[in-house]
Amino acid sequence: MSDKQNITVLGSTGSIGVSTLDVIARHPGRFRVVALTANSRTDSLFLQCQQFEPEFAVLLDADAAQSLQQKIRDSGLATVVLHGVEALEQVSSLPQVDSVMAAIVGAAGLRPSLAAARAGKRILLANKETLVMSGGIFMDAVRDNGAELLPIDSEHNAIFQSLPRDFGRGLAAVGVTRILLTASGGPFRTKPLFALENITPDQACAHPNWSMGRKISVDSASMMNKGLEIIEAHWLFAASAEQIQVVVHPQSVIHSMVEYADGSVLAQLGNPDMRTPIAYALGFPERIASGVSALDLFKIARLDFEEPDMQRFRCLGLAYQALRQGGTAPAILNAANEVAVAAFLDEKLPFLGIPSVIEHALEQVSAVPVTCLNDVQEADRLAREVASERVRAAGGGAFAPHSSLLTPH
C-alpha cells in the first residue's frame, strides 16, 4: 500500500458520495481518488473530475459517458471515461485501489460491491441492497478473499464502534445480548394514520433530521430503511432477528446501541451527519477530522425513546418476516420496495400502497435458498414483475383511499 490510500468512490454524485469527497478533500495528503462513478449526472461528475483528477470516471449511461468524454477532452484532463456495469466492476477491483466506497443506491450497487470483495479490497459499504439481496454470498466473498468490511450506515457504523473488535467470534462469545437499532421515526411518526392516505412525495422526502436522496427518504418515512438495516445487521454481526430490536429515537443523536450480558449498554452519539461514519471508516483504525461540529449535549437537553408502531410502519414487520423466512425472501422484499417507491415518487401509487405491494410480492414469489447470484437475480426479476403488475392494478382502483391499507391482509 502506498503512503496515500487509493480510493474508488462508487456513486460519487449521490449524497454519500459527495460527503465522502468532502472528507477526502480535508485530508489531501492522506487519500487519492482513483475512480469516480455515477449513473448519468454528467455535469456533477465532470466537476468532481476537475477537483480530484481521478484516473477513471464511469457512467452507467453510454450517452452520458460520451458527453463526459467530450468535456474531459476539452478540459485537458487525463481521466479515462468508461461506461456500463462491467466498468463499475473494473474500477472496484483495480490493483492500485486500496478502498472502495460502495455508495450506489439500489440493486445496481450489488455487482461492483461483490467485485471489490472478490478482489480483497477494504469495502466501505453504504449500499444496503448488497447485504439485503445476497448477504450470504457477499459475506463469503469478503471472508474467502481477505477483504475488509466497514459499514457506513450511521446505525451499523455505531454498532461496529460499540462492539469489541473480536465480535466475529460470535455475539454470545463476546457477551452481547442484543443490538438496539435506533430509528428517527421519519416525518410521519406522530401524524394521524388517516392522514397518511394522501401523503405526497415531497412530504415523504422531508426528513426531520437527515439530508438524503429521495428513495432513501421515502424508505425512512415508511421505515423500510430500518427493515433493510435489520437484515444488514443480521449479516454484518451474525445476529438473529430476535437479537435485533428497533428503538424509535426522534432526535437521531444516539445512532445505535449494543446491550451486554452484564447489563451495560454502549451507545455511539453524534450530530446527524453522514461525514462522521464516513470519516471513521476512511481513517480506521485512526480517528480523523470529518468537518462535523461537536455534539452540544446541553443544547439537545433530552433524548426520547419509543417502541415502533407496527401498524403505522407495516414495512418493518415485512422485513422481519423476510429475514426469518431467509433465502431469496429479502431480495424479493427489496425489489418490490424499489418498484413501489419509484411508483410512489412518480405519483402512480399512494404512500400506503407501498407495504401492500411488498406484501403481495412476498406472497406471490416463492423464496428459494440462495446458492449463487443467479438465484438472487431471478428472485429480483420475478419480484419486480409481480410488483409492477400490482402497481398497474393500482391505476384501476386496487388502492382506493379507503381500502384496508392500514391493516395487514
Quote the mean pLDDT of the chain: 92
| Three-class SS of 246-270 | EEECCCCCEEEEEEECCCCEEEEEC
What SS3 state is found at 332? helix
Q: What was the pLDDT predicted at 209? A: 65
Q: What was the pLDDT predicted at 107? A: 74
Residue 408 pLDDT more than 90? no
Q: Mean pLDDT throughout 358-369?
A: 97
**Cβ partners under 8 Å of residue 141, min gap 6:** 114, 117, 118, 147
Q: What was the pLDDT predicted at 214? A: 83
The pTM (predicted TM-score) of the whole model is 0.90
Report whether 231 contacts 319 (CB < 8 A).
yes
Domains 5-151 and 326-409 share a fold: no
Lowest mean pLDDT segment, chosen from 158-162, 174-178, 323-327, 401-405 = 401-405
Grade residue 404 by pLDDT with cuts at 50, 70 and 90: very low
pLDDT in tens, 184-197: 988 888 888 888 88
pLDDT in tens, 252-293: 999 999 999 999 999 999 998 999 999 999 999 999 999 999
pLDDT in tens, 77-110: 999 999 999 999 999 999 999 999 999 987 788 8
Lowest mean pLDDT segment, chosen from 143-147, 235-239, 290-294, 399-403 = 399-403
pLDDT in tens, 115-150: 999 999 999 999 888 899 999 999 999 999 999 999
Residue 401 pLDDT more than 60? no
**Other C-beta atoms within 10 Å of 321: how many?**
18
Report whether 254 contacts 182 (CB < 8 A).
yes
* Among 329, 339, 404, residue whose Cα is nearest residue 369: 329
What residue spans define the domains of the chain? 5-151, 154-271+294-320, 326-409
Residue 324 pLDDT more than 80? yes
Longest dimension (CA), the chain: 64
Q: Find which of 104-108, 214-218, 220-224 is predicted with most confidence, using mean pLDDT.
A: 220-224
More confident residue, 396 or 281: 281
Residue 231 pLDDT more than 80? yes
Grade residue 336 by pLDDT with cuts at 50, 70 and 90: very high
Q: Which three cell numbers stand for residue 234?
A: 443480521
Report whether 314 contacts 355 (CB < 8 A).
yes
Q: Mean pLDDT throughout 348-368?
A: 96
pLDDT in tens, 56-77: 999 999 999 999 999 999 999 9
* DSSP-assigned states of every residue in 212-259: --HHHHHHHHHTHHHHHHHHHHHHHHT--GGGEEEEE-TT--EEEEEE
Residues 232, 113: Cα–Cα separation, whole Å: 14
Q: Mean pLDDT throughout 216-227?
A: 92
What SS3 state is found at 34? strand
Q: Mean pLDDT throughout 15-26?
A: 97
Q: What was the pLDDT predicted at 400? A: 39
CATH 3.40.830.10 fits 5-151, yes or no: no
**Range list of H helices, 76-191:** 85-92, 110-118, 128-144, 154-162
Q: What are phi and psi of 274, to 5 degrees?
A: -65, -15
Report whether 387 contacts 358 (CB < 8 A).
yes
* Protein fold of 326-409: Rna Polymerase Sigma Factor; Chain: A (1.10.1740)
